[in-house]
Structure 1
């Protein structure tokens, strides 16, 4: 199956576009954009530079009807893309079909970031199933690791190869695919500063600890990290009934903070679907994804680890 449809005529389409040259990229992407514009869709193009500049130049005649975004900024943290880019754009155009070009996996993506990217691509199929949305995801087969291209066949129901659409024989249940990227995180360094907490009364100590350990960051970014950690620590206290630990350390070019507890994060979409405005709670991971440069999560029967990264 290449498309999913509902009785009200809504059609969801999530193809991967494999390209190995600038010409194939332009042909595939501009063709998709022009067709969407002609159909009256709301169109977003979120790709990394220099592809962004190339598409702006090639789509000048329809630029007034297309929204452009730098994916290295809007989607620097892969966990931010569904809530902060895709769902936000769809919500801004509630009465129109939405067509999006999203390129979350580019050659500069690191091994640290990639598992979150692959899980994101799989979960798009869950979040947008039954919606009137098309999301085209280009993959640079000439420069990407072949394993990442193989993963694209697992996360997209249909692939576009040499200009032709074909169902992917390796497409699998999105939850199963996303679970394959629920990978253990590297060990916390023995040199990391750590603090254990258990009760709501401990949150003030958590905030003082984080404030002291993030003094090396720009004040605004340190404040963002403090908010994220406080929200996640509150989640530990509210939902796990056990101790939590905050660990902070520096790596090359970034400060890293990890929250560990004995809870199990059972919903793979946690942090990707904003809760209703009147909901109590449910915003911890959403806030962390919005505020941090990268969020990695590993959850299992022994507990959950959430690792936050902030560049210096």
Structure 2
């Protein structure tokens, strides 16, 4: 392990796929070390060219698909690769979760994801490099990068530096923002334990009316059932379901009186022998985006599904 937290951060102005993969990534791949690269799809060809023959030894993933929902990246990308490697073997992952074009709606979930990675991999033999396109991302994003990564590697040749701004907990808290209110006309359904099936049927009926079909409609049904059940068990016995259309998506929100104390809830892969406790993980794995706000008066979980 290179760092106590097992991670390196890189706000890099260089286009991912060039200098920073020719050295350590190609060397590790040639040495038989497990290496994965998860970047937006249009960068993959650049990386293959930079790696040359070593590209065949690197697991390549399109982050626009695998990491569309930032809450899916830790369990579905990083842990999905690292956890299947032989115990004690060093693993290197290059992951670019923040790219130009991420929306303002998506970005708080991206920042929180970046702040939580070290807590998941602390004590493990894993090095994670996170490239940032400093020439196209604004300074607010780069400031968050410095606060969520213990080490920064500049794009221009120069030494690695410990980040004096490293404060991941502050980033998680800062982006725990109240969500904008649903629009007028959103479907609203107050539910309790006795009305869980009706809540699910209400959500899927509205989702179908708004254009969801097939697997996407099934995903909405699953998410509604998991969130509503979680509200009954952990959120005071019930909650409020809302569904509405937004910019080509169907949005499902569940609000209750519970307090989500663990920011990693739904991001840790569940052990195979664990009974239950997978509800929020399933929500992250099937949704296109998940945003959460928790405060003294309760918790709101909002999920997006592309139509």
TM range (shorter): over 0.9
C-alpha distance in 2 between matches for 1:21 and 1:32: 16
How big is the shift at 1:203?
1.2
Tell me, which stretches of 5 or more residues in structure 2 are unaligned?
Answer: none
C-alpha distance in 2 between matches for 1:21 and 1:157: 20
In the alignment, is residue 205 of structure 1 matched against residue 187 of structure 2?
no
- Say if 2:9 and 2:149, in contact at 8 Å, map to a contact too: yes
For residue 49 of structure 2, what is the aligned residue in structure 1? 57
C-alpha distance in 2 between matches for 1:54 and 1:130: 32
C-alpha distance in 1 between matches for 2:118 and 2:103: 23
Match among 70, 90, 104 for residue 97 of structure 2: 104
SS in 1 for 2:160: strand
For residue 182 of structure 2, what is the aligned residue in structure 1? 188
TM-score (ref. length: structure 1):
0.93
For residue 114 of structure 1, what is the aligned residue in structure 2? 107
For residue 279 of structure 2, what is the aligned residue in structure 1? 284
How big is the shift at 1:39?
4.1
Match among 274, 281, 294 for residue 289 of structure 2: 294
In the alignment, is residue 308 of structure 1 matched against residue 300 of structure 2?
no
**C-alpha offsets along residues 231-272 of structure 1, whole Å, 9 cap, x if unaligned?**
111111111233301100001111101000000001111010
**C-alpha offsets along residues 165-215 of structure 1, whole Å, 9 cap, x if unaligned?**
11101002x33331221111111112100111111x211101210121111
TM-score (ref. length: structure 2):
0.94
How big is the shift at 1:281?
2.4
For residue 3 of structure 2, what is the aligned residue in structure 1? 3
C-alpha distance in 2 between matches for 1:28 and 1:207: 48
For residue 251 of structure 1, what is the aligned residue in structure 2? 246
Query: What is the number of residues matched between the two proteins?
Result: 301
For residue 15 of structure 1, what is the aligned residue in structure 2? 8
For residue 171 of structure 2, what is the aligned residue in structure 1? 177
- Say if 1:36 and 1:43, in contact at 8 Å, map to a contact too: yes
C-alpha distance in 2 between matches for 1:117 and 1:208: 31
Deviates more, 1:99-108 or 1:240-249: 240-249
How big is the shift at 1:60?
2.8
For residue 159 of structure 1, what is the aligned residue in structure 2? 152
- Say if 1:19 and 1:25, in contact at 8 Å, map to a contact too: no
C-alpha distance in 2 between matches for 1:30 and 1:206: 53
- Say if 1:17 and 1:28, in contact at 8 Å, map to a contact too: no
SS in 2 for 1:73: helix
For residue 36 of structure 2, what is the aligned residue in structure 1? 44
SS in 1 for 2:23: helix
- Say if 1:83 and 1:272, in contact at 8 Å, map to a contact too: yes
C-alpha distance in 1 between matches for 2:163 and 2:46: 29
Tell me, which stretches of 5 or more residues in structure 1 are unaligned?
Answer: 5-11
